[in-house]
Structures are given as C-alpha cells and as structure tokens.
Structure 1
Amino acid sequence: MEYQIPLRIYTSDHKLIAEYGEKRREPITYEEVPEPFIQAVLAAEDERFFEHPGVDPKGLLRAAVELLRYQEIRSGGSTITMQVARNFFLDREQRFLRKFNEIVLAIQIERILEKEEILELYLNKIYLGHRAYGAEAAAQVYYGESIKDLSLPQWAMIAGLPKAPSAYNPITNPERARQRRNWILFRMEETGAIDSEQRKQAQAAPVTARYHAARPEVEGAYMGEVARVLAEDLVEPDLYTEGLRIITTLNSKRQNAAVTALRQGLHAYDERHGWRGPLARIDAGELPELGWPAERDTEAAPDTDQPEPEMAQEKEPDLLDELDEDLAAWVERFKDQADFGPLRTAAVTAVRDRQAAALLRDGKQVVLDWDAIRWARPALNKGYVGEAPQTAADVLAPGDVVYVRPDGGGEDDPSWRLAQLPVAQSALISLNPDTGAVEAMQGGYSFYASKFNRALQARRQAGSVFKPFIYTAALESGFTPATIINDAPLVFDDDKLKDAWRPTGASDRFYGPTRLREALYRSLNLVSIRILRQVGISQAMNTLDRFGLPTKRFQRDLSLALGSASVTPLEIARAYSVFANGGYRVDPWFIERIEDKDGKVLWKAPRVERCEAPCAVVTADSEVAAEPETDEDGKPIQPPPTMAPRVIDENTAWLMHSILQDVVKRGTGSDARRLGRSDLAGKTGTTNDQVDAWFSGYSPELVATVWVGFDNPASLGNGEYGGRAALPTWIDYMGVALEGVEEVQPPQPPGVVSVRIDPDSGLQARPENEAAIFEYFREDNVPELEAPHSGDGRSPEQIF
C-alpha cells in the first residue's frame, strides 16, 4: 500500500522552494498522532474499531434497516478497515458488489496488519478537503500547524471531515462544520474520552480554521521549474506521487537576497519613468463610505496568512463572508485582480491633501503617506515624465484600484508604498566560481506573472560586459595592461553595408592615446575595436570558445568588440567565473541530489575536479571513478566527475582580475565601492540606445550577473546605462550574499611582476620620472625603458 506524496524541491540548506502534485500529503506514524485526535476519529467513524475483526455487524445491520426503511442507502456501515480497503483498492460508487468486496478485503487486511497499522494507513490516506490527504496535511491546510500542536476543538473539527469534506468544511461551510465538530465532542464525552467540562469548553470555542497554502520557505519558483524538468531525466520513479525530494544548489539567504534586490531594482527603474495610472476604477459613489482608517472602528478580517500568489498551489477561498458588509461591498469589486510578488491589490477609499487611504483585499485599511505617492509623475511617451505631483489628488482618486507594496516598517504592520507592476524585466544569476553551483537565480519579476526564465533563456546583446573576453585575447596576443591604443574616431566603408559604419562611445568625448587598463575601466568602444582588429577575429573566437561562450551564434566581425553577440545571463556568469577562479571553466549545475521519501539517495551531482587542459575524458571505468557510489541494485547514483579545465593561464587570469578591479575602484562600476570591499571586480554593459543593461561581477567566492531590459527589445530610456539600471541590483544582492564572507585577494603569480611605468607612454619609467605609476606585467613582457628626453616612445602601431 503506497501513498501518493507530492514532489518537493528544497534549497541546499533544506528550505522548501516548491511542491508539485495533485495531493498534499504529509505521512506520519501512529505514534506521532495525538491520542485525543484518535479518540475523536473513533467517536466519529468507528467507535468499536479496536474490538471488531474488520467488519462491525451492528453497523451493517443499522445500514440494512435504513435501506429497507428509506429505500435508499443512508449510511454504509463501513468500519475504518473497510474504508482503508475502499481507499486503497476500490472506487467510491455505492454498489452492493463493492460493499461485499470491502468486507472481504477488510477481513484480509485485519489478518495481515495490526490495528495501529490500519489506523495509520487510514489517517494518512483519507481526503479532507482543499487537496489535503491525511490528518497531518489537513492540520497544516486549515491551521498552519502540525496535528500534534492543535487543540481539542481543532482535532474534533478535522475528525469531522472524512464523512463529507465539502459539506463540513470549516472554511467554506463554517456553521455546518461547527455543528459537526460539536456533535463529535458530544460523542467523545459519551465514549469517555473527555469529560463534560472539556466538552463544553471545546464546543464554545470559535471556528479558527483559515486556509494555509503550501507555503515555500524560500521564493525560488524559477529554480523549482528547472529542477523539476531536469529530474525527469535523472531518476526513474514517478516524480509527482512517490514523495521524491530534490535538493538544489540554491543558498536560501542568497536566493532571498536575489529576489529582493531584483524587484527593488525594477521598482526603482519603474518609478523613474513615471506613473501609468490605476489598474481599474470602480464607482466609489455606489459604495458605502468607509471614512479614514483611523476613524473607523470596524476590525479588519483576521490574518489569512496569505502567501505570495506565485508560491501558492491553488487560490485562497473567498474571504468576503468574514468581512463586515461595508468592507465586503468594496472588496467584491476588485477581489479578482491578481497580485504579483510583494504587490497587493488595493482600492483607494479616500484622499486627503498629501495622503490616501486604501483597502486591501483581506479587508485591512492602510494609509499611503506623501513619501509613498510623490514619485508618481505621469508617464509620457518615449520614456519622458510629466510634472511632479503637488497633492495626492494629482495622482489618486477614490475608487482607483492600484497596487501597493510593503516599504519599511515591521512584517506585522508594514508601511505601504504606491506601486505598479514593472514593465521592464530583469534577471539575476549567481554561481560558485569554483564549482559552478547556482546559488541564486531569479528569472524575472514574478514567476506567477511570467514563467519565462530570463536568466537561462533570454538571449540578449551583451554590450560592454563582453569586452573583458576581447581584452583577454589581447593579453594572450602580447598586449599588456600598459599598451597604448588610440581612442579616436573610426570609419569603416564596406560594400556590404548601406552606409559607412562610424562606431561611437557612450559620449562624444575621445581620450586619445590610452592605456589598455584605462580603456577597459572607462569602457572605451573605439579602443576595443582597435584591439580586436589587431588580435584578429579568429584568435578572439578561439579565446571566446575556451570561456564556454556560444561562438556559433556570433557574427564574425568587429562589432563583436562592442558586445553585439547575443548571450544569456547564465552564459555571461559562467564566463566571468573563469576570472574569479583563476582561469578554470566550470559548468553550471542546479541539483545536488535526489532522494526518495525515506531519504535514500537516488542521484547525486558529480564532483567537480580541476585539470590542466587538455583534460582526460573521464568515464565510469576511469581510475578517478574506480569506485562509484551505487544503489542496492549496483547502479551508480553519482556520475563520473565533471572536469573544470584550465582555459587561460594563471598570469592572464590574474592580470584581467586586476584590471576588472579597477572598473570597480575608478571606472563605470565605481558605485560598488559602497560595499566597502576591496576584493570586488566586474564590468558594466550597455547596448545601443540603452536597450540592454548589464553588470557582471564577482568576489573570488561568488559571481553574479544582472541583466535589465524589455522582453520586446526597446530603449530603457536616456541615461539607463548598466551602471544605473543593473549595477544597483548587483550591489544590493552582493551586499547580503557576501555578509560574513572574508575578503580574499588572489595571490600574485610568480610569473607576474610590478614595474614603474610612464602613464602617458606605457614604457618603463626612469627613476627620475615623478609621474610614474606601478603596473603589472608578465615577467617576459615588461615594456622597454623610456628614452631620456625623448618623445612618448610610441610606435605608430601602438597609437593607431
């Protein structure tokens, strides 16, 4: 006899992400069931359960008398054992043959199983409404607690559900459920399970049942879907009925930080681009006047413990019956408007000079102060915004249906801010650079609003976030951080082009002869093009291949230097991991292991082992995997190790890390300095017309990539560069993700030396040069000593 138990997906620290399956069930043992609850069930369903042999003649006789008297089946006379037989082996159609089969099966079950085992099967199998199968699931659905933590009236309430889960449901039919509960309490007194005083106190208790959806502890629906799909090819059992547990690579703290940072970044962008108006309008004149919240004496509905919609597996039951008439009349008009993430639907009920009162769907009345409203300048065409509002009435009117979101205050009583569902989208993905484990991933504002996972599926132009790979190719081709390249206009004539190509930078300014290091932290487009021309497309493609980038999708032309290639955030994060870990390419992975309902490991992620390229191919027969871990049938549960080959030498990796640190210290990513860490490095990216904004960066312990843009590519607006649209999200995420992580500075390799250079020529400075600065070089690629009293010492090739 097997229970259908849903698939559950967890973070690496065992916090629930998602649950998949038609039936919500939490099997428990007989010993875990409280004795008063057992007495309540027996009083309601089968008082003589521990006395009869599986069939109760008295019950069957009563059912037969009712059939003869009323010419219809009023009660089946079924014992708990007979119900177990029906639930596991038969259908529920009321036929005499089925009843006969019930009796036969019940007698056989009683011969095989102990009474406690039978009752355990019953308490775990029965349907109790709202997808709850079994007593423990019902306790969590109706009360949000384990069955062992409930009270006597709550136990009696659940014990009343098996007879008719819909008719006696405490949420949808609270009065009938109360009557059924009180009858069971009376029966418990008759059987001696409780005394008269206990019965009276329990019968006087209010109905406290509320709907509690299966609430994940961590919002990670995008990862949940990835893990679910991957697991279908990794294990043989039915994913959705056998109680499998998927342990993912997500770190709960970092995942929560990613979700919060991404949404905050999108709201900040959205508010910069103005208020698009209410979701809908209702006629406030037809509704009761609610007055100002502080002046109203009516209590709001009890806390419903409502989850975020993308977390829920089904809709919450209607709560209008629990509101007073005035509140219910308002909520009825907007209750079907969907919520997303932290956004809550509200109706504006009153407006004052610089305040507005709003009613949430659960009946709670809140106040929006001026700081929560003043951002809402009207959105105009082409990203422009109108005049700043002067009063709340410039933005809101009674009857407006809007979104609000928590903005400070405590969890139990937050302050609220006027909000709207962002029209732009974003993705954030974060990897462990040593192993490739995905520690945080959010593929959009809300999985419930859009299941498209932009972190893995959105191929967008990379912009300048791509330049470090071109610069790596340059260092491998003999360039140094001090090589001088001219930042000056370029014009390309090509018969294949309609017009000449005149690439430009983010501004009209040109810096002239510029050192390679400075060119990257300033993100100079024309320098990048000149570098790629000298390196050559073929050599650059070879370097990009080694980073694991999808070069087959890339155009083989100079626009590659500006990031014309379309890539996903995951592909960029993987490539930046090479800089973070000192030169090794790791493969991203999502699942640590898969367990059955008893905790037995069915599949385990392969180990990650570094190797110096070219790496030997590892198979199940290789020495490195000579003794793979196997299951009872001898099948390996852990694949052979995954190789992380060295793809750039340690000297190149260290030099690129040093240059990318300057992007944070003094370049386009300098806002990241507010994190107060010296081990951060990264690169901003923005495409033409600010269509895509990026920041990809890392500490040696963690890589994170952020992308911002529209699903249908369009300009984010003037000034919405990577440093403004994407970098703040990265900063907010890394600020939390790196809490408690010590700063790590990769040691300078033996093959790299520090040399004083002239900043204008890039040549080794003479001792008397007071303007000299230090720069790093491969020891076999140190520049020549500058000539005394000479010009800048540069060759035409270096300049042009």
Structure 2
Amino acid sequence: MSHLLRTSRVFAWFLLTGLSVAIIIASAFYLYLRPSLPPVHQLLDVKLQTPLRVYSADNRLIAEFGEKRRAPITIEQIPTIQLQAFLAAEDARFHDHFGVDIKGLTRAAIELVSTGSIQSGGSTITMQVAKNYFLSRDRTFIRKFNEILLALQIERELDKDKILELYLNKIYLGNRAYGIAAAAQVYYDKPVDELTLAQMAMLAGLPKAPSAYNPLANPERALIRRNWILGRMRDLGYITQEDWSEATKAPLTATYNMREAEVDADYVAEMARTEMVRRFGEAAYNDGYSVTLTVDGTKQQAATEALRTGLENYDRRHGFRGPIGQFDIAGMSTAELSNQLLNYPRVEGLIPAVITSVNDDEGAARVHTRHLGPGKMDFETMTWAKRYRTENLTGPTPEKPSDVVNVGDVVYVKVTQLPQIQEQTPETDGNEPRLELQVALSQAPRVEGAVISLSAKTGAIEALAGGYSFSQSKYNRATQANRQPGSTFKPFLYLSALENGRTPATIYNDAPIVFEDSELEGAWRPQNSSGQFYGPTTLREGLYRSRNLVSIRLLRDLGIRQTLNYLDQLKIPTANMPANLSLSLGAGQLTPMALARGFAVIANGGYDVEPYLIKTIQEPDGTVVYEAPETVLCDSDCEQQLTDNASEDPLTESNSDTPETDGILLPASAQQSAEKRVMKRLADERSVYIMHTILQDVVRRGTGRRALALNRKDLAGKTGTTNEQKDTWFAGFNHDVATTVWVGFDQPSPLGRREFGASTALPIWVDYMKTAMQGAPESTMARPNGIVNIRINPRTGERARPGEDGTFEIFKEEDAPAPLSQDTNGNGSGANDSDSLPGQIF
C-alpha cells in the first residue's frame, strides 16, 4: 500500500505541476494577448461589406456594385427551423456552452495527436464570429488562442441571438454570397422565409466548405452533406421522422440566380457610381448604400429602347456592311461551333451566329447561335440588307439569301421566336413537334446617339441614354460629347431678339449673302437646307421653317457680343462658341445635356434649371444621408419675399460654385431635406411665352411635324442639322418635360445627304415621348399679362389695313406695331423703328 500511495502522490504532483504550468502558460498568453484584442462592442458597429445598390424613382433595381453579395437581416426575419439547421451542422451545443465547447476542443486535440495534423478546429459559432469579424484565417495556435479569448468575451457581452445573427450575416456561402439572405437569393431566388426544409439544410451545409459542398459545383457531395444535416436535425429533435423522410427525398433545386437589373440603364448607373465614389471613396462599394435616382423606370426603359431602335433603323437605311467574321465550318460539331463563336461578343440584344447552310429555294439560311443552338433565318428578315457602299450609296436590293450571306459567315441576329414545344391540338396526331428557333439578320450600328429627358421645373433627370451599348463603349455621349447643335441653337438667338425689342413680326430678308471675313477663312456663302431663298420673312416663320439667312441677319443686327452675353445670362456654356456669324447656325459646341438644360429653361417659363440625378442616399439601416433639396422657382416677387423671410425659412440659392460631376448636380450646401434650391428667373416670361408659340409652330407647320403623331397640342420643339449632316438633333418639350435627342458618329462624319434632325433624331424623340407622356394631361405655359394679339400684314409686319389679308400675331405690349394712321400706305417693318428695315433687308 505504501508503494501505491507513493506512486499516487508522484502522479498527483506531476498532474498538479502540469496543471500549474498550463495555467501559468495560459495566463502568460492571456496577459500577452489580452491588450491586443479588440473590444467586443465593435461588433455592434461593424459595417458588413454590402454592395452599393442603385434604384429608380419607382424602386426598381438599376445596378449593383461591389465584390460581395450581401443583404443583412435580423434574427427575427430568419425562421426557427433555419436556425436549427445551422446549429445542427455547426454547433449543436450553442445554447449550452459559454463560447468554447470543451468537448469539441478535446476532440480536435485528440485528432491532432493521433494524425499529426489539425482535422477540425473544434470551433463554436461564437468562435467563428470572433474569427470572421476580427481575426485572420491562419491555422495557428496563437490565432486559435485569440479566438478562444474573444469568444469568451463575446459571450459575456452579447446574448446568444445577437451572436447567431452576426454569424448568419457574415459567413461565406459560395458564389460571392455572404450571409444567409444573399445565399437564399443566389441559389434559390427566394427570401429566407420561403425556403423548404431541404433547401434550408442545403444552405446550412455550405459554411464547412463552400466549394466542396456547393450544389452547383458538386451536387453529389452537396446532397450527402444535406442529408447528413437532416439526420442530425432529426436526432436532435428539431424535425420529425416524416419531415426527415420527405426532405431527404427532395431533389436538388439550386440554380444560379444573380439578381438582374430591372431597368436597362447602364449609363445612368455609371453616373451614380461615379458620384458615390467621389463622395464616399471605396466605402461606396462596401458600406451598403442604397441610392435612389430621379429616373422613372418606365421612362428610362423607353429611352434606352427608343435610342437603340432609332440607331438600328438609321443603320439599316444605309445597308449591310457584311459579316463580322468568317470561318470554315466543315466537319465541326455544334460544340465546336459554339466555342468558335466565343470570339464574338454579344451586343445588347444582338447574338453572334454562324451561317451553316443557305437555301435559295427554301428562301432561308440555317444558323447556329452561341447560346441557343441551331435556328432558321428567313429571307424576309434580310431584304433590307443592300450592300453598304458609302453613307450615300448602297448596292441593289437582294433577291435571295445567297445575295446576303454565305456558309461560314458570322453575323449578328435577333431572336424573333424561341424554340418551344408546339401546343397539342385536335388536328395533331398526338405528336408534339418542336418549334425551331427563328432569328432575323441584324448588325451592330456604328452610329451613336443620346437621349436626355428633364423635368422642366425641377431639373430632375427622368431618363438618360448615353449610347447604343454601354458594354461596347462607356463613353456617355449625353454628358460628355461636345457637338455642334445646328439649328437647335436658334431658339436662344431668337429669344435674345425678343428680349431686345424684336417681335415675331419683325421682317428680315431671306436672300443670298456673301461674307468676306478673315475669321471665317475667306468667303462664306451660307444657304438654307433647301438651297432656295424666300425673300422678306417674319421672325416667326424664319424660326419655324429654320431659315439660315434670316438667323444670320438677325445675329448681325443684334450683335455677336450682346448675343453671347445673353447666352451667359441663360447659363448656356459659351466657351466653345465662335465669336462670328456662324454662331447663328449653331456652329459652337454643346453637350446634349447642356442643350437639354437650355430647352428646359424655355419649357418652364424662363427659370434657371440645374439637372440632377440622385434623389436620396440611404445607409443600410435606412438612415438618409442625402436628400435632394426641393426646387423653388423664384421670380422677382419671390426674391423679395425670400429677402424678408430669410431668417424664418433659410433657402439655398443655386450658384455657379455648386459641384457638378458628369451631369449630376448635387448642391454641396444643400445637405438637409429641409433646405431648398432657389431657381431664379433668367428670361422675361412674356418673351418665353412668345417663344413657346413659335416652337409650337415648328411642330404644327415646320420641320417637327412628325411629332404630330403623338396627337397632343402642347408640344413644341426644334430640329437641328449641322453642315454636311454630321450632327442631327431634336429638342422638344411641353411645360413639364424637356427632352433632347442627338444622333451622329463619335468621330464626326456625314450621316448621309438625306439624313436630317427630322429623319434621325425626331423619330427617336417621338418613340420615347409616346411612353413618357402616356396618360399625362396636356401642359402648356399660361399666358402672362402684358401680351396683346394684333392682326398684322405678314409681308410687312405692320398692322393689317381693313380689307387686307392678315394674320393674328402676339406681342409684348410695349413692342406692338404702331396703330395705323390716316395716311398709312402699308409700307413698314413691323418693328418699333421703321428705319431699321433697310438694314434687315440688306
């Protein structure tokens, strides 16, 4: 007994010594590591890396930017059975331990001793939270000890539900999905509370090894893992035997579901992304901001589609440029054909396809598409494909498929009918023939364009398209392309004239003129687009018929410097405007956005306009960090009232120092929702009202008559075509909305001698406005005080004498033609100073 007692004492001393040494070592580790451990309360302030999401004004997703897909949710939003699935898979004793599971750590230690390597970490969910939020993923003892210490602290300071919520929002579940909500969307396209038991178990199996147990990458292993978790749930009493039996028999239903944009608005999305990065730096991609834009989803989609359709129509008018590639298809399998087509990018709705056979007797060609396999292209879809020669010349009309394509040609096509099983009818014999893929010949346009639609009274961008395809070119022509506005510039010149004593009845001569001017590089012989001249013309007719010679004489009469000063008053950029008479024909340069803004000033009655895109910016918890200020249109009475009430209701006055980025205007001084933007009057409302009536005549009687197809009486606008048809425009509006369309080549070159603003830009405008104005009541500017109607002689501009042919015209009271005197002989200019007629004529 004494020997046994001595032996027991020795073992006891060894055990006590070992325990003491372990405690000392552990204490040393604790004292060494404790100061470097982060405080647990930081967990509550951690911003999970959540992507930037951009929405339209009607809450439709436009784009998502960021490396990680995540949608944080609260523990209350997660079904109990889903929580139990994760506990069964990762930490069944979660509610029993204090952050560290001794059994699990002991098991891990035994595995290490027996195998020589770490087989499992013995980590609890709390330890995983500590690791995922604060530590690296290195498999070292120091990191594990830190993990244990942090887990103990987390358990002391946070409740179990909060720890579980942090875990389920942070874990990586494969396919860029972080957190359970993102994974439910990516794999099943459902919110968490709509998943089946089998789907819940599948997600619970992913944290252990997202790549090895991924149902998309390795369905067999994923199924085994899922069924093991279901068995654990049954054994732990979370589900019944019947639940387990049904769930284990369920097939794998996971598919890849990246959330698609609900609005085709890539250029708008890029503008928003640029502005967010400017404001928040790289945090814009990770801090979960939600940006709501001013664009309306329906209008934006209409703008995108109208521009693409218009550019495609122009492109077809000028012929088929031939295949985009060619290769030898002899002996190739369908898989090899698809691989070859990978060399040709898809462009929006255009799909690359290779011609596999051409049958003139059948009147069709057979194709193989990269994504949809074999299909048929009927000759009816190729009849437009005259061979392109130049912008003014095409080849003959094709008469059979072989006139257009050959075997091995790679072309772009549009799908007109997807393959499908034909519905059985009483006439069929029970078989269900498959309808084959039908495609139409197409090609990617080289011509480009832009559409910008503004709320005239606020400047909010309601729709914007910066080109045919953002994937082809990220250059935003709406905000970056400086182009000659052509005749769309003329309304600003004529508005300047109305502000300086001229009237719609003022006469200028539409006759040939030659200028010898060193600044114009020699002799300049301007002409009208028709090549004809029409003699003495009123300003109204000169504008709605877009007479160049009238505009030139008007600018010469007003003075170039005075006109440029007036443009500055309207805040139309003049840096790229020529200081010579070519200014009258729109020879300067403006972006489509700048031109749209200028027309919005006319549309709203003469008030300043600042285009802006971002309506609100919100943090993930819904906190609004920016809200666009309310816009206040302010005339002279308003300005006086603001001066009197400045201390009671402070307003933010717009000024030229407000930062602007790529067409987005977010006033730096207007950061609170209570603030407002004061937009002052830039032009006399009577002059603007008269301009409205003239530009309405452009639609009713002039070059904008195609807009009559909308069957509205409130539309006004102006076409524009520059020299050699390098730029074509239409800028149109009613009192509420101003929309501008531009069409041209990125490298300016002629569009073709038969292409004008009315044939290229105006159809796009009509196509867009058909949707944008659907259901909207007509809106016209109210007639201001100080306007009179007078019957005039259109040949002289003076009041019409009794018995003379005449027409009614409107004038500002002080600019109305003088009353007829007893000895009036009918000769006069219609202006206040009849002596000015010779200067206007000659």
Q: Same fold (TM over 0.5)?
A: yes
> What's the offset of the Cα at 1:284?
2.6
1:673 partner amino acid: L
Q: Does 1:768 align with 2:803?
A: yes
Alignment partner, residue 301 of structure 1: none
Alignment partner, residue 70 of structure 1: 115
Alignment partner, residue 242 of structure 1: 287
Separation (CA, whole Å) in 2 of partners of 1:469 and 1:350: 57
3-state SS in 2 of match to 1:255: helix
Separation (CA, whole Å) in 1 of partners of 2:771 and 2:489: 26
3-state SS in 2 of match to 1:100: helix
Write out per-residue CA displacement over residues 256-303 of structure 1, whole angstroms, 9 at most, x where no aligned residue: 111111111111111112222233334332223xxxxxxxxxxxxxxx
> What's the offset of the Cα at 1:411?
13
How many residue pairs end up in the alignment?
A: 755
The question of whether the paired residues in 2 share the 8 Å contact of 1:407 and 1:417 is answered with: yes
Alignment partner, residue 757 of structure 1: 792
Alignment partner, residue 401 of structure 2: 392
Separation (CA, whole Å) in 2 of partners of 1:409 and 1:486: 61
3-state SS in 1 of match to 2:764: helix
- 1:84–1:358 CA distance, 2 compared to 1 (3 A): farther
Alignment partner, residue 567 of structure 1: 590
Separation (CA, whole Å) in 2 of partners of 1:144 and 1:359: 31
> What's the offset of the Cα at 1:407?
5.6
Counterparts of residues 531-570 of structure 1 (less than 5 Å)? 531-570=554-593
Separation (CA, whole Å) in 2 of partners of 1:168 and 1:248: 40
Separation (CA, whole Å) in 2 of partners of 1:27 and 1:364: 40
1:535 partner amino acid: L
For 1:716, which of 751, 755, 764 is the aligned residue?
751
Alignment partner, residue 162 of structure 1: 207
- Pairwise CA RMSD of aligned residues? 2.9
The range that moved more, 549-558 or 343-352, is 343-352
Q: Does 1:153 align with 2:212?
A: no
3-state SS in 2 of match to 1:500: strand
Alignment partner, residue 116 of structure 1: 161
The range that moved more, 46-55 or 655-664, is 46-55
Separation (CA, whole Å) in 2 of partners of 1:385 and 1:237: 51
Separation (CA, whole Å) in 1 of partners of 2:68 and 2:573: 42
For 2:342, which of 331, 335, 338 is the aligned residue?
335
The question of whether the paired residues in 2 share the 8 Å contact of 1:442 and 1:455 is answered with: yes
> What's the offset of the Cα at 1:350?
4.4
Alignment partner, residue 602 of structure 2: 579
Alignment partner, residue 683 of structure 2: 648
> What's the offset of the Cα at 1:635?
11
For 1:493, which of 505, 516, 535 is the aligned residue?
516
> What's the offset of the Cα at 1:767?
3.0
1:363 partner amino acid: L
> What's the offset of the Cα at 1:460?
0.4
Separation (CA, whole Å) in 2 of partners of 1:383 and 1:70: 81
Separation (CA, whole Å) in 1 of partners of 2:91 and 2:701: 77
- 1:577–1:406 CA distance, 2 compared to 1 (3 A): farther
Identity of aligned pairs, percent?
Answer: 48
Alignment partner, residue 710 of structure 2: 675
Q: Does 1:88 align with 2:133?
A: yes
> What's the offset of the Cα at 1:764?
1.5
Separation (CA, whole Å) in 1 of partners of 2:252 and 2:118: 31
The range that moved more, 783-792 or 156-165, is 783-792
Write out per-residue CA displacement over residues 77-109 of structure 1, whole angstroms, 9 at most, x where no aligned residue: 212111111100111111111112212212221
Alignment partner, residue 841 of structure 2: 799
Alignment partner, residue 318 of structure 1: none
Separation (CA, whole Å) in 2 of partners of 1:461 and 1:533: 20
Write out per-residue CA displacement over residues 205-232 of structure 1, whole angstroms, 9 at most, x where no aligned residue: 4433222223222222222222233334
The question of whether the paired residues in 2 share the 8 Å contact of 1:786 and 1:793 is answered with: no
The question of whether the paired residues in 2 share the 8 Å contact of 1:274 and 1:377 is answered with: yes
The question of whether the paired residues in 2 share the 8 Å contact of 1:227 and 1:590 is answered with: yes
The question of whether the paired residues in 1 share the 8 Å contact of 2:553 and 2:840 is answered with: no
1:740 partner amino acid: G
Separation (CA, whole Å) in 2 of partners of 1:129 and 1:393: 50
The range that moved more, 329-338 or 191-200, is 191-200
2:297 partner amino acid: S
The range that moved more, 533-542 or 555-564, is 533-542
Alignment partner, residue 133 of structure 1: 178
Alignment partner, residue 317 of structure 1: none
Separation (CA, whole Å) in 2 of partners of 1:348 and 1:55: 66
Alignment partner, residue 611 of structure 2: 588
1:773 partner amino acid: T
Alignment partner, residue 657 of structure 1: 692
Q: Does 1:458 align with 2:475?
A: no
> What's the offset of the Cα at 1:425?
1.0
> What's the offset of the Cα at 1:415?
6.5
Q: Does 1:436 align with 2:459?
A: yes
> What's the offset of the Cα at 1:571?
0.6
Separation (CA, whole Å) in 1 of partners of 2:418 and 2:580: 53
- 1:273–1:618 CA distance, 2 compared to 1 (3 A): farther
Alignment partner, residue 778 of structure 1: 812
> What's the offset of the Cα at 1:406?
5.0
For 1:265, which of 305, 310, 313 is the aligned residue?
310
The question of whether the paired residues in 1 share the 8 Å contact of 2:353 and 2:368 is answered with: yes
Alignment partner, residue 525 of structure 1: 548
3-state SS in 2 of match to 1:774: strand
2:747 partner amino acid: N
Separation (CA, whole Å) in 2 of partners of 1:42 and 1:488: 89
The question of whether the paired residues in 2 share the 8 Å contact of 1:462 and 1:692 is answered with: yes
Counterparts of residues 348-427 of structure 1 (less than 5 Å)? 348-352=355-359, 353-363=362-372, 365-405=374-414, 416-427=439-450
> What's the offset of the Cα at 1:233?
5.2
Separation (CA, whole Å) in 2 of partners of 1:472 and 1:784: 22
The question of whether the paired residues in 2 share the 8 Å contact of 1:605 and 1:639 is answered with: no
- 1:187–1:393 CA distance, 2 compared to 1 (3 A): farther
> What's the offset of the Cα at 1:579?
1.4
> What's the offset of the Cα at 1:42?
2.3
3-state SS in 1 of match to 2:617: strand
Separation (CA, whole Å) in 2 of partners of 1:135 and 1:489: 76
- Please list every run of 5 or more consecutive structure 1 residues that lacks an aligned counterpart in the other structure: 289-325, 629-633
Separation (CA, whole Å) in 2 of partners of 1:597 and 1:86: 24
3-state SS in 1 of match to 2:330: helix
- 1:415–1:136 CA distance, 2 compared to 1 (3 A): farther
- 1:204–1:274 CA distance, 2 compared to 1 (3 A): farther
1:536 partner amino acid: G
- 1:207–1:611 CA distance, 2 compared to 1 (3 A): same
Counterparts of residues 139-288 of structure 1 (less than 5 Å)? 139-232=184-277, 234=279, 238-288=283-333
1:161 partner amino acid: L
Write out per-residue CA displacement over residues 731-757 of structure 1, whole angstroms, 9 at most, x where no aligned residue: 111110011110022222221112222
> What's the offset of the Cα at 1:706?
0.7
For 2:629, which of 606, 609, 614 is the aligned residue?
606
Alignment partner, residue 34 of structure 1: 79
> What's the offset of the Cα at 1:784?
4.3
> What's the offset of the Cα at 1:192?
3.7
Alignment partner, residue 834 of structure 2: none
For 1:623, which of 638, 647, 650 is the aligned residue?
647
- 1:275–1:579 CA distance, 2 compared to 1 (3 A): same
- Please list every run of 5 or more consecutive structure 2 residues that lacks an aligned counterpart in the other structure: 1-42, 422-434, 653-668, 830-836
> What's the offset of the Cα at 1:607?
2.5
- 1:381–1:552 CA distance, 2 compared to 1 (3 A): closer
- 1:260–1:408 CA distance, 2 compared to 1 (3 A): farther
TM-score, L = length of structure 2: 0.84
2:724 partner amino acid: D
The question of whether the paired residues in 2 share the 8 Å contact of 1:595 and 1:601 is answered with: yes
Separation (CA, whole Å) in 1 of partners of 2:112 and 2:389: 74
The question of whether the paired residues in 2 share the 8 Å contact of 1:12 and 1:247 is answered with: yes
TM-score, L = length of structure 1: 0.89
Write out per-residue CA displacement over residues 674-733 of structure 1, whole angstroms, 9 at most, x where no aligned residue: 000000000011111111111111011100011111111111112111111111111111
Counterparts of residues 6-85 of structure 1 (less than 5 Å)? 6-85=51-130
2:463 partner amino acid: A
- 1:72–1:259 CA distance, 2 compared to 1 (3 A): same
Separation (CA, whole Å) in 2 of partners of 1:773 and 1:455: 40
3-state SS in 1 of match to 2:285: coil
2:807 partner amino acid: I
